[in-house]
Structure 1
Amino acid sequence: MLNLLNGAGNYRDPEVSPEGPTETRPLSEAQRESNARLVDTYAAELYEAPAEEILAWAHEHVHGPLVVTLSMENTVLAELAHRHLPDADFLFLDTEYHFPETMEVADQVEHRYPRHRLVRAKAVLPRPEQDRVYGPGLYRSNPTACCRMRKVEPLAVSLSPYIGWVTGLRRADGPTRAEAPALSLDHTGRLKISPLITWTLEETEEFINDNDLIIHPLTRQGYPSIGCATCTLPVAEGQDPRAGRWAFSAKTECGLHE
């Protein structure tokens, strides 16, 4: 018999997710094969390509719906997708642990880019219910489980209608991303497209300023990488941009790109 309790205050074992959908619907075999052919043919060519070229390639070669994932740390990807992927949806993972400023940026994005539907994905359990079922402060006692329930699983479910997703990954964001591809397949066979992959933090800032984009105010207050408010600290100048993420643990990634 499966033991759902972890023995600490009769809270549920955080390795057991709440009842509800947690996975992405499978693609058809034909879709998987088509995506694999695209990666085999174009991944090397796009590895160092400019963002505009990667997005133009996606608009021309990907025959199916795409979704653009936005952390709201900046809106560069929203602006580029608006120019090159006019039919793409936007997707924001509303973990219910975000800074208020992050939620304000999400609202501004929805207003500035009305042509793109903004999907706000949430976990199965609201934040207070997660505290009741799994214990308060799961983000600290088991941050991997918290990220799984509030980011990884909601993303997986939300990707079901799409043939691929566009991410804001940059190789400059840290050593775990130093060799990330611009085009690959995720574990479901969907295309994973990262047009900003070669961009530095300085190039990102330049694009924001040159195009009068929405600015997340915390990026001007020592937060070059912004996640949940409970798990993000400012970093000193010259530090790894992601040094403030989960600084209380050895965790370095939320699991979305693993």
Structure 2
Amino acid sequence: MSDTKTTPQFSPEDLQRINAELSGKSPQDILKWAIDNVQGLYQTTAFGLTGMCALDMISKISLERNEIHLVPLVRLSRKAWGFDIFLDTLYHFKETLQLAETASETYLAELHTYRPPGVQTVEEFEAKYGKELWKTDEDAYDYLVKVEPAQRAYKELGVKAVITGRRRSQGADRQDLPVVEVDSTGLIKINPLIDWSFKDVRDYIDKENVPYNALLDQGYRSVGDWHSTAAPVEGDKSDGNERGNRWQGRNKSECGLHKDYFEMKKAFEEKHKAAEEVAMQKEAPVGV
């Protein structure tokens, strides 16, 4: 992975103009703009409701246009064939993994799955990095299961821009999001459903018969790793903090994907180096 910032496709002045033009536009219009104007475009998704809405919309846009050149995002083959990046943290609910398969089959989406570096299973992860790392070193956990795999995917796939599922109604750091932004690495992030509420998203899912996570029928509103997603409380029907069941009791609202990559990488490597030095000192023969 490169540690240098890539040159973004849009200048700050471009972004200001683009966001003014896209303000108030429908998610479909924002997606059409992205397909037509952004290079190296992929969708990153954990198959939440918003991500599934976007995938369904992309499919319909492809079919409406009857085009086959919307690469790398979509191309027509009976249905839209999307290029989606799925970050398998190894700690997803089984329902999330099942939905990933269902979505890939339903939309003929080519799913690129990335896992933490050097491991394929929970057992391998915990043997290499420690058990319950999300408790002992939350930032290191986020870096290993989300940030590093995402950057690896972007490099290997030539990703220059991603469609995200973030919405302002989700609150916390997301309430002031622009439609289009550029992060610290130069990656363009497009948030097509930015103005939709949870109800808007759920209504679209129901109306268009879009596949969704079975946990939603149990009252979940936001689904992440099983160890950091609290079960719903009976009777809680508010449309307030949709992600309030995530990371309860911790001063946290994001998993790391939308934080500064270079800062997270530097912090992880410094901790890792210090840990290695301590381990070497313990293993060194007496008197050396």
- TM category (shorter chain) comes to 0.7 to 0.9
| Structural mapping, 1:219-258, within 5 Å | 219-236=216-233, 237=236, 238=238, 240-258=241-259
SS of residue matched to 2:162: strand
% of aligned pairs identical? 28
Tell me the distance in 2 between the aligned counterparts of 1:81 and 1:196.
12
| Structural mapping, 1:1-258, within 5 Å | 21=1, 27=6, 29=7, 32=8, 34-36=9-11, 38-62=14-38, 64-74=39-49, 75-84=52-61, 86-87=70-71, 88=73, 89-114=83-108, 116-126=109-119, 127-160=122-155, 161-236=158-233, 237=236, 238=238, 240-258=241-259
Q: Which amino acid aligns with 1:183?
A: V
Tell me the distance in 2 between the aligned counterparts of 1:155 and 1:162.
10
Q: Tell me by how many angstroms 1:207 deviates.
A: 0.2
CA contact (8 A) 2:180 2:188 kept: yes
SS of residue matched to 1:120: strand
CA contact (8 A) 1:171 1:179 kept: yes
Give 5+ residue unaligned stretches, structure 2: 63-69, 74-82, 260-288
1:5 corresponding residue in structure 2: none
The structure with the largest helix share of the pair is: 2
Tell me the distance in 2 between the aligned counterparts of 1:157 and 1:42.
28
Q: Which amino acid aligns with 2:123?
A: P
Q: Which has the higher contact order (CA 8 A, sep 6+)?
A: 1
Over 3 Å counting, the alpha-carbon distance change for 1:190 and 1:135 in structure 2 is closer
RMSD over equivalenced CA pairs, Å? 1.9
Q: Which amino acid aligns with 2:134?
A: Y
Tell me the distance in 1 between the aligned counterparts of 2:244 and 2:15.
32
Q: Tell me by how many angstroms 1:35 deviates.
A: 2.5
CA contact (8 A) 1:47 1:183 kept: no
Which stretch has the larger CA shift, 234-243 or 151-160?
Answer: 234-243
CA contact (8 A) 1:101 1:217 kept: yes
Q: Which amino acid aligns with 1:172?
A: S
Q: Which amino acid aligns with 1:212?
A: N
Structure 1 or 2, whichever has the larger Rg, is 2
Tell me the distance in 2 between the aligned counterparts of 1:154 and 1:174.
26
Q: Which amino acid aligns with 1:84?
A: I
CA contact (8 A) 2:161 2:188 kept: yes
SS of residue matched to 2:113: strand
Q: Tell me by how many angstroms 1:69 deviates.
A: 1.1
Give 5+ residue unaligned stretches, structure 1: 1-20
The CA deviation string for residues 6-63 of structure 1, in whole angstroms up to 9 with x for no partner, is xxxxxxxxxxxxxxx5x57754x4xx2x32264243122223321011111112222x
SS of residue matched to 2:250: coil
Q: Tell me by how many angstroms 1:143 deviates.
A: 2.2
Tell me the distance in 1 between the aligned counterparts of 2:3 and 2:152.
5
CA contact (8 A) 1:170 1:177 kept: yes
Which 4+ residue blocks in structure 1 deviate beyond 6 angstroms?
none
Tell me the distance in 1 between the aligned counterparts of 2:164 and 2:207.
22
